[in-house]
Amino acid sequence: MEKELVQLAKEVSEKRGMPEYEKLSERELVKETLGPLINQASPSGSSAAVSDSRTATISLDDLSNLPAEAKIQVEKLVESVFKEGLENGVKNAKKSDAFVLDAFHDALTDKFYEELKKRKLI
């Protein structure tokens, strides 16, 4: 997981220097960086714009607003990322519907953002 966090911090730093990303917050940069990974996992036929940072965000703290089943799914998916790695967690998320996948993206963004800040990588 450490290697993935360092790589994510590097990609966020690279985006920070690009004109199209200069007005985004660090959290939004993390979300934009995770977006392509999550979008690759989008269920076929999904029309959800998972990487669009303008969509409503759902943090791990806000999961209480989700239906119980979706909340449990998102929590398990986020846990799987930290136990099995980002690639495996995203593969697991691929099996979910677009709503859960979007909530997973938002919750994972918050989790990674907090972890990157805690480790002073961003």
Would you give the DSSP letter of residue 45? T
Q: Do residues 54 and 106 make contact, with C-beta atoms less than 8 angstroms apart?
A: no
pLDDT of residue 66: 80
Q: Is 28 helix (H, G, I), strand (E, B) or coil?
A: helix
- Residue-wise DSSP of 60-121: GGGGGGS-HHHHHHHHHHHHHHHHH-HHHHHHHHTTS-HHHHHHHHHHHHHHHHHHHHHTT-
pLDDT of residue 107: 95
pLDDT digits (tens, 9 = 90+) for 28-71: 999 999 999 888 755 544 434 333 433 345 555 556 678 889 99
pLDDT of residue 113: 96
pLDDT of residue 41: 52
pLDDT digits (tens, 9 = 90+) for 76-119: 999 999 999 999 999 999 899 999 999 999 999 999 999 999 99
> pTM for the whole thing?
0.77
